[in-house]
Amino acid sequence: MLTDPVFLAVAALAVFIVGLSKSGLLAGMGVVGVPLLTLVIPARDAAGMMLPLLLVMDAMALYVYRKEADWRILTILLPGALIGTAIGWGLSAFVSEAAVRLIIGVIALAFVIDAVFPIRKKLKDLPPSRPWGTFWSSVSGFTSFISHTGSPPIQIYLLPMKLSPVRYAGVNAVFFAFANALKLGPYYTLGQLSVTNVTTALALIPVAITGIVVGVWLARRIDQGLFYKIAYVLIFLLAIKLLYDGITGLIAG
The pLDDT tens digits of the residues spanning 25-41 come to 666 667 778 888 988 99
**Average of per-residue pLDDT across 34-51:** 89
Q: How close are the terminal C-alpha atoms of the chain, in Å?
A: 27
Question: Is the predicted pLDDT of residue 50 greater than 60, yes or no?
Answer: yes
- What does pTM read for this prediction? 0.80
Residue 220: phi, psi to the nearest 5?
Answer: -105, 10
- What Cα–Cα distance (Å) separates residue 98 from each residue in 226, 245, 250? 33, 7, 6
Which of 1-5, 213-217, 248-252 is modeled with the greatest confidence?
A: 248-252
The pLDDT value given to residue 129: 76
Answer yes or no: are the C-beta atoms of 176 and 69 closer than 8 Å: no
- How far is residue 130's CA from residue 165's CA, in Å, rounded to a whole number? 22
Half-sphere exposure of 112 (CA within 13 A, CB side): 18
**Average of per-residue pLDDT across 113-134:** 69
Question: Is the predicted pLDDT of residue 126 greater than 60, yes or no?
Answer: no
Which string of b and e fits 125-147 if b means at least 16 CB within 10 Å?
Answer: eeeeeeebbbbbbbbbbbbbbbb
- How far is residue 115's CA from residue 123's CA, in Å, rounded to a whole number? 14
- How far is residue 224's CA from residue 205's CA, in Å, rounded to a whole number? 25
**Average of per-residue pLDDT across 38-62:** 90
Least confident of 114-123, 135-144, 145-154: 114-123
Answer yes or no: are the C-beta atoms of 48 and 187 closer than 8 Å: yes
Give start and end residues of each alpha helix (H) in 66-164: 71-91, 97-116, 119-122, 130-147, 151-158
Answer yes or no: are the C-beta atoms of 186 and 92 closer than 8 Å: yes
Q: List the one residue out of 147, 172, 193, 123 whose CA is nearest residue 24.
A: 172
- How far is residue 52's CA from residue 180's CA, in Å, rounded to a whole number? 9
Question: Is the predicted pLDDT of residue 124 greater than 70, yes or no?
Answer: no
The pLDDT value given to residue 239: 81
User: Hey, which bits of 38-121 come out as E strands?
Assistant: none
